[in-house]
């Protein structure tokens, strides 16, 4: 855990980037599932629509969070309590800023 006090806009920017990565992974899974279903007979299970909903939700939450990162008032927060609840080290590293260059408020930092 970093225990670092960081600008809130950077936290939102990092979260938006992570949500963008989740969306991209979901799109890849959707594509693979589509390829597999194309090789089978019969209709696709209705529950697969949930996968599309997950991907679309990640996209919307990422866009919402990216917009927040550009509009939040200048304030700083301690990430340590929030980082403490994260199970995945990769997510913790991304949100703490350790896994990628820190967001500086430019559009190039957020990938959707």
**Per-position pLDDT tens, the chain of length 112:** 556 789 999 999 999 999 999 999 999 999 999 898 888 887 888 888 899 999 999 999 999 999 999 999 889 999 999 999 999 999 999 998 888 756 765 444 444 4
Q: Tokens 């209709």: give the residue.
A: 43
- Residue with structure tokens 């700083």? 76
Q: For residue 85, what is the DSSP state?
A: T
Under a CB-based contact definition with an 8 Å cutoff, are residues 112 and 20 in contact? yes
Cut 0.85: pTM above it: no
- Of the candidates 16, 10, 3, 14, the residue with the CA atom closest to the CA atom of residue 83: 3
Is the CB of residue 34 less than 8 Å from the CB of residue 26? no
Helices (H) and strands (E) in the chain, counts: 4, 2
């Amino acid at each position: 855990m970093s225990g670092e006090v960081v600008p809130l806009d950077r936290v939102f920017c990092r979260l938006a980037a992570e949500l963008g990565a989740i969306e991209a992974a979901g799109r890849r899974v959707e594509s693979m599932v589509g390829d597999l279903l194309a090789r089978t007979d019969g209709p696709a299970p209705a529950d697969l629509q949930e996968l599309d909903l997950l991907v679309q939700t990640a996209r919307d939450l990422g866009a919402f969070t990216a917009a927040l990162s550009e509009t939040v008032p200048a304030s700083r927060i301690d990430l340590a309590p929030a980082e403490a609840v994260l199970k995945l080290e990769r997510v913790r590293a991304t949100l703490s800023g350790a896994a990628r260059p820190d967001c500086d408020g430019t559009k190039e930092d957020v990938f959707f």
